[in-house]
Structure 1
């Protein structure tokens, strides 16, 4: 028997929508490293995996979000988180390159390893859907904004290390 299923993490169009949802967070910082954005996107699509994230003591209040979003955990078994984010990488790259081609992010910054939003026009219906989705998950967006602003990407206590999603031991810090 063949079973068809949809996995938002592996869909380039869903990835572009999630990327646009993250743009208001990135705009407040200016630009963010590509891997930092990939980790934020991982937790946006899999918020129940926040239970595996080691937070700073002042941010432990956010741990409850992992439990709150546990109901969104898919029924099917999923690979280990590190493998899952690796599988997401080529789809993420294709989505962000498409956003760069359409002018939503700076293409030369993306090629250099950064995500930097541009002042590009967006259709009203898309902007409304982004605002509605972000408002619906405001608590999650607040956590992602905190991870973007207050956590470095690399190093011993960086986001790579705290999440366990990417190798951190060889980072230049």
Structure 2
């Protein structure tokens, strides 16, 4: 039986990545940060387990009450590992269209270029999509990724103990 799930769809992944990047103040984030915020975008109920940065908790807990339109995960950490290849395809696709910088991507950063997003692509985002992307882009994606109290530690989705200090 073939079952469609947007989390495994490269095209939907491109849509989510662009939406998240457009709602991030610097329009740039480390690739692992994009992987984490993308997981929260697809499964917003997982925000309930995030150790929120100061000042971001109340709105985050409200958004955590949003049921996933897709389904639930038995192990978010394992899922994030499983879709690492998909995220590589998404960022490579964006780089191929010159929507993100190839040079920055080589350094592990997904950074929007000045090339305009194709007309009509992001208009398919619902109000809920935009609200969630704005929160994730401005409050979660801006948390430093590495080290104690970094996003990897706060989310408990990636190992952080061996990060460079």
Asked if TM exceeds 0.5, the reply is yes
Unaligned runs of 5+ residues in structure 2 are none
| Alpha-carbon contact 2:148-2:160 (below 8 Å) kept | yes
Aligned to 1:12: 10
Greater percentage in helix: 1
Q: Does 1:170 align with 2:162?
A: yes
Where do 1:57-76 residues align within 5 Å?
A: 57-61=54-58, 62-67=60-65, 69-70=66-67, 72=69, 74=71
Where do 1:134-149 residues align within 5 Å?
A: 135-144=127-136, 145-149=138-142
| Alpha-carbon contact 1:19-1:41 (below 8 Å) kept | yes
- Computed over aligned residues only, the root mean square deviation of the Cα atoms, in angstroms, reads 1.8
TM (norm. structure 1) is: 0.85
1:56 to 49, 53, 58: 53
Q: Give 1 or 2 for the bigger CA radius of gyration.
A: 1
- Mapped to 2, the partners of 1:47 and 1:71 lie a distance apart of 6
- Mapped to 2, the partners of 1:114 and 1:147 lie a distance apart of 16
| Alpha-carbon contact 1:48-1:72 (below 8 Å) kept | no
TM (norm. structure 2) is: 0.89
Unaligned runs of 5+ residues in structure 1 are none
**Structure 1, residues 149-170: CA drift from partner, whole Å, max 9, x if none?**
2x11111111101111111001
- Mapped to 2, the partners of 1:71 and 1:30 lie a distance apart of 25
Q: How many residues align?
A: 163
Q: Secondary structure at the match of 1:99?
A: helix
- Mapped to 2, the partners of 1:7 and 1:19 lie a distance apart of 16
